Structure 1
């Protein structure tokens, strides 16, 4: 299993309670994080408070910071929780626990702590006029998808210190992520006036200018960044954005040159060279070799559905194939609940490894399972859905959208044979071009997407696996072409909703209105806030001479899916 890690564009169940500020019961879990009951651990808060000095709390905070610096996040959380026993409203401790919970894939609970921290930071910053914590916490909240809370902190920071370039830039980023472009531009201009040579501020302003059609200004700003002595990663990002501007100006050769310059810079980055480029191909090879028909049909729907759990739906496909657009359209239906990118299936594969002792080979681990193990995984999945999204997700048709879950289509099909799958398709040439133009952060799932040849190789491996698996999986599936969505929206989505067994609702036609102001984790967040447009269809024609080198690798899929006549 490869943990899917798609870069944030701007980067860098019932019963979830908010942190308790009231007296802790003797039989409650001790807030220090020990796992013991309070009466057997830290006893009465009052007694501890009397015995604790300010120097003790300062020491605990320093211990937590030191633990973070060496990557020991478990110990950092323990020290932060110890602080919260004494000072339940301590902003740094609340934020520390919240961050740890979010990284532990307990995002809903972690955000509760981060929001509590935000309340305290607001109060403290108004008194001190120090905005450092405001900006740091705004960035954390933005990273974890709470743009409303992040925006509130950024706005306060700007009110307190309007001459802070960092505050203005943070505000611009928040507005940009929720597609309030005019307001983002205003803040971004102020940031660049305050720090005229900062590459980050100028790149964001160029992106916003380009979104508003001011292409000459955006291009000139990006060229200046590429010509300055900045860090290679910042120059590479500027080249990527410059390619987008040049593409809109119909300067396709120059755009492709900029893409190659970005790729060369990316390949030379130390953090890229450290990532194992073969890991994803090894996982795909094991899945193709191990998921035969016998395994894919080992447990029947009748055998597993005795648990009376909801029926899940999965939306995946190769990156840049239209999964985010599809998710936004489905989310506009009142009977549907969609997730954005998540790690639910990854968590299940980790649990599978714990159950069986077999790591890094999912088919082999499944062979070691009994039916009760599979039922446990199914229950865990829905438990995690409720923990992350609340009980409302269980009352609607739940759509689990993670683009590269296609790699784990065999695993998903085996444990959820009653489910259904939407597989997003798009002309392979457009997919590879679009991936090559995106600012991915290097991970085992995305490192190959930093070169055009790497994109094509990974596309072949993922799509070859899907063509192999689709012949034997039990779930119903529908291959959903991006081009059909653009050319015949209603007919296409009537088929989709038939598969999901929900009635057609005309309001899904206005999906883009819902997307405006909503946090979307993938680079498509700006595009899906607009009505459907056809300019991204057959975009590859503009770059045909530059793409010919990968056409042989894509030919099989071009033919299979009927794109030969495009």
Structure 2
């Protein structure tokens, strides 16, 4: 992936009082690099003339010549960090990553508080696809220079790739007020904002994107159109998506511009799939897989192809596409979570964190909110119908959902960071500490849902089922709804989703891993539920589909709601809401149907090896393998 770079801040050493050198510096400050090159040829080689000529050569894309001059400067003045920083920048751009790494490390040794050096090292790590190191360097640059927009953008990008949603959101917090960005950067920003649900800010970033004044402008303009179409599709505005794509007809797209071609095909395929034209979508996804070099694009296309072939009942082809998708995802995960690559690794580390009955007996009594002052927690293994239930609750005027947020998990991380190991330290929490944790949670909620008012919060995060100790400590009176669905349908649906979390990429990379983690998650849940005895409603997907009205009333009764009727109008509510963060954003706008029940039967051959792992838990949950 190409990354725009920021020229390092230049602090010339001394400008001799000579007319030509003064003219040279003036030309550089005015951005007249051709004049800098012309003037510098006739001047003696001082540090100043060498530096300005090197930077002018870089601007002219004569990178090898620029690198040679900057290398000489580091030899002439080895304690001057700017020379090392610029050498690192130019070496990276010319493809000499070894020299770039050595030069930037030396720059940081000389000036550890230089945001520019941290930034350039972060860009090098991005180029090398070393995402965790890139994230660390770029976040370091932002810490030193909070208003450094390019550093915030790429720090968000590295955090996005690492699955660090909190850091990504923090880096993009004020993105709506950023100045116009170059088109390439605006596309990156819009893509990230889309995953955070900030569709309007993403569209605004594209509207004000600055196109280059060269022959790449047309392709970038086409990619912006394609991104706008994807944003509208993601927000369930299909008519607007099609109006955008009318400006980018497929006949006008050439494989000579692969990035534009893949962007256009991806957008056309997404809209075609939503309109039910699965063959057209599949053909376009196959074109992308034959052409795209970008890993993320290939992953999107492979999962899209699998979904299209599945709906066509071409299950063998769907499975092949899924295997390709997961193999590609694992190349990303391997760079971020190498410790999870072992066959027996456990991506759901929270499943190991339990409170025993003896430990629970040592908990100090604490004052806590009443049920009507507590969130309603929607939990369950991912792809068990949690989004459907969330939208039903959100459709009722007494409730407000906030999309999928890991706020409860964040509280466990904060405890660990403060030297209070979770969950053991829950026993010794004081009233003040518990209140502080609730206030941290409330602050995160207010930031996400500023207009909550008197409505009850719906905290839907499936894997909060692994955080029951924290919920029980802070909100012991809270209502919890456990979503259930046939385990094989759950696993198939997880296997077909392009999850962004690196740990989840690993978790979903095979049915065997999924099956073992599913069992461990429910073993954890049952163990902790027996100890804490929370107020739980089991919400079984198959029963809801067949007896919807009955279950709406049952839900209302559990939540002490007099009139549950608005919950039945969830599909209309979801369509008007626009953006929904989870992969079910399209399905929940269609209302109740049974097409997702027993979907796994079409892939039974693939499930046979994992049924022995699942069968005991299936029986406990009331399901069979027929």
Alignment TM class, shorter chain as reference: 0.7 to 0.9
Name the counterpart of 2:590. 530
Does residue 466 (structure 1) correspond to residue 532 (structure 2)? The answer is no
Equivalent residues of 1:209, 1:215 under 8 A apart = yes
Give deviations 1:113-145, integer Å, cap 9, x for gaps: 22222xx43xxx8xxxx6455434433432332
Match of 1:521 among 568, 577, 581: 581
Aligned to 2:177: 116
Q: What's 1:245 paired with?
A: 308
The one of 412, 426, 430 equivalent to 2:489 is: 430
Q: Deviations over 1:222-269 (max 9, x none)?
A: 233334473565444433222211111112233223323333444455
Measured after TM superposition, the shift of residue 338 of structure 1 is: 1.1
Question: Does structure 1 residue 151 correspond to structure 2 residue 203?
Answer: yes
Residue 280 of structure 1 is aligned with which of 347, 357, 367? 347
Q: Does the residue aligned with 2:597 lie in a helix, a strand or coil? A: coil
Does structure 2 conserve the Cα–Cα contact (< 8 Å) formed by 1:209 and 1:217?
yes
2:227 touches 2:267 (CA, 8 Å); kept in 1?
no
The 1:173–1:525 alpha-carbon spacing in structure 2 relative to 1, beyond 3 Å, is same
Contact 1:312/1:398, CA 8 A, preserved across alignment:
yes
- Aligned match of 1:303: 366
Q: Does the 8 Å CA contact 1:275/1:443 hold for their aligned counterparts? A: no
* Residues 280-319 of structure 1, C-alpha deviations (whole Å, 9 max, x = no match): 35431332xxx2234446558x732279993222111111
C-alpha distance in 2 between matches for 1:216 and 1:410: 48
Where in structure 2 are there 5+ consecutive unaligned residues? 1-28, 32-112, 124-133
- In 2, the alpha carbon distance for the partners of 1:526 and 1:467 equals 32
Counterpart check, 1:262 vs 2:325: yes
1:152-171 CA-to-partner distances (Å, cap 9, x unmatched) read 44356599977622211211
Whole-Å separation in 1 of the counterparts to 2:158 and 2:604: 47
Distance in 1 (CA, whole Å) between partners of 2:286 and 2:138 is 41
Question: Which residue of structure 2 aligns with residue 292 of structure 1?
Answer: 356
Q: Is residue 356–residue 369 contact of structure 1 (8 Å, CA) maintained in 2?
A: no
- Which residue of the partner structure matches residue 503 of structure 1? 562
Give yes or no for contact 1:80–1:94 (8 Å, CA) kept in 2. no
Distance (Å, rounded) in 1 between the aligned partners of 2:417 and 2:300? 39
What is the root-mean-square deviation in Å for CA atoms of aligned residues? 3.8
Secondary structure of residue in 1 paired with 2:377 = strand
SS of the residue aligned with 2:467?
helix
Partner of 2:425: 365
* Contact 2:115–2:142 (8 Å) recurs in 1: no
CA contact (8 A) 2:552 2:567 kept: no
Match of 1:222 among 267, 272, 285: 285
Aligned counterpart in structure 2 of residue 135 of structure 1, from 175, 178, 187: 187
Matches within 5 A, 1:149-548: 149-155=201-207, 164-188=221-245, 190=248, 192=250, 193-196=252-255, 197=258, 198-228=261-291, 230-231=293-294, 234-268=297-331, 270-271=334-335, 274-276=338-340, 278-287=345-354, 291-296=355-360, 298-299=362-363, 303-305=366-368, 310-358=373-421, 362-390=422-450, 392-393=451-452, 395-516=454-575, 517-548=577-608
The normalised TM-score by structure 2 is 0.69
Is this contact kept in 2: 1:299–1:371, CA < 8 A? no
Deviates more, 1:434-443 or 1:202-211: 202-211
Quick check: which has more Rg, 1 or 2?
A: 2
Tell whether the 8 Å contact from 2:403 to 2:581 is kept in structure 1 after alignment: yes
Q: What CA distance in whole angstroms lies between the structure 2 residues aligned with 1:201 and 1:518?
A: 22
Residues 323 and 195 of structure 1, relative CA distance in 2, 3 Å threshold: farther
Gaps of 5+ in 1: 1-52, 84-90
* Counterpart secondary structure, 1:547: helix
Q: How has the CA–CA distance of structure 1 residues 430 and 93 changed in structure 2, closer, same or farther, with 3 Å as cutoff?
A: closer
- Structure of higher RCO (CA pairs closer than 8 Å, 6+ residues apart): 1
* Distance (Å, rounded) in 1 between the aligned partners of 2:445 and 2:439: 10
**Number of equivalent positions:** 489
Shift of 1:460: 1.1
Task: Decide whether the 8 Å contact of 2:309 with 2:317 is kept in 1.
Answer: yes
Q: Distance in 2 between matches of 1:82 and 1:259?
A: 42
SS at match of 2:307: helix
Q: How many angstroms apart in 2 are the aligned matches of 1:284 and 1:338?
A: 26
Indicate if the aligned counterparts of 1:169 and 1:191 stay in contact, CA closer than 8 A. no
Q: Aligned partners of 1:263, 1:137: CA distance in 2, in Å?
A: 25
> Normalising by structure 1, what TM-score?
0.75
Per-residue deviation, 1:217: 1.6
